A = this chain, B = another copy of it.
């Protein structure tokens, strides 16, 4: 017997895969060193000094499991947003929560509506539970929420997903339109409104925390991985109607959160002064990335996130050559995976010295790339 014969039919069909190849794998496989890690939409400015202190203090307590009810963390999040603790649940990053939501709702063959070129990890989870992806193309580099609504109704889909602000395009839809969308959606369709980049969005994009809390068919996802600079902590959360938030308690890994990560998240919420400061730095870094792009004849798209998506003006192969070429210079960035979005590259914010490396490398890479076309 070469392999176990009784994995489920679904499991047998699934590929062993990684939705995103990490910079560590690129270093290993291409024998390169990442000097500027500005590709994974992390926040290179890092967490607050007060958060580093909290991590250091929590270090000696790491022999203890985390509270399986995550009471203190949920209380801090609820208080921060002005909602009730039973309207909050937490998980191992938004990625982990997305998997749980799909599990709660989707079985083999069920339609799930999302944007063509949207978040690959969401698609991975849908496929992992046998769901059928129904995709709606982007419109002018923005999520087409009219198209998403139409598709959800047409397919009688139990689940629809989009991110606002959007990844990978960095665009954003007015909060008022998002609320309209959610209220127009059949109550038999669950909306996942992924607000991972909520903290970096300009005013008017993120609806009030309680704007949709009366709707059992809306789950909003947030994270400490982006503006809070805690991607390595793996703490995401949902804001939802209490009945919906409670559903996670039926299936989640109760002891799944890292105790130091929880302490870091609680400390991060307390230090809103630092958050405000870092959001300023993120905005300035976005500007600089856009300037670098323009100085090289490329077209930066408007961004409400911690990255800038840049239209390189040609096809996916051209953008791929730039991504690969920058990596040869030690600059790790990424790009959207699907046409026509894949005419773009996507560069995450980071401190000045990292953007200096980008500024130095980009003209060289563009020259090489243009010559080889």
Contact = CB atoms under 8 A, between A and B. Distances in A.
Interface stretch (A16-24, A76-84, A336-344): A16-24
B65 A231 contact: yes
B52 A105 contact: no
B63 A43 contact: yes
Contact of A244 (B4, B14, B17, B216): B4
Contacts of A233: 62, 258-260
A112 to B, nearest CB: 12
Contacts of A106: 8
A99 interface: yes
Contact of A256 (B25, B66, B95, B225): B95
Nearest to A214: B1
A312 interface: no
Interface residues on A, range: 35 or more
A250 B17 contact: yes
A4 to B, nearest CB: 4
A216 B1 contact: yes
Interface in A27-72: 28, 37, 40, 42-47, 52, 55-56, 59-69, 71-72
B65 A250 contact: no
A334 to B, nearest CB: 12
A230 B62 contact: yes
A273 interface: no
B16 A246 contact: yes
B249 A3 contact: no
Contacts of A231: 62-65, 259
A28 B361 CA distance: 56
A16 B250 contact: yes
B59 A42 contact: no
A128 interface: yes
A234 interface: yes
A145 to B, nearest CB: 20
B28 A256 contact: no
Given A22-B68, A121-B255, A258-B261, 18 more contacts: A3-B244, A4-B241, A5-B188, A6-B105, A11-B247, A16-B247, A45-B63, A52-B60, A55-B55, A55-B59, A56-B59, A63-B230, A64-B232, A65-B231, A65-B232, A92-B253, A93-B255, A233-B258
27 contacts: A1-B217, A2-B216, A4-B241, A4-B244, A4-B247, A5-B188, A7-B105, A8-B106, A11-B104, A11-B247, A11-B250, A17-B249, A24-B69, A25-B69, A44-B63, A46-B60, A46-B62, A46-B63, A52-B60, A56-B59, A61-B232, A62-B229, A62-B261, A64-B232, A65-B225, A96-B253, A232-B260
Interface of A: 1-8, 11, 14-22, 24-25, 28, 37, 40, 42-47, 52, 55-56, 59-69, 71-72, 92-93, 95-96, 99, 103-107, 121, 128, 158, 187-190, 216-217, 225, 229-234, 241, 243-244, 246-247, 249-251, 253-261, 264
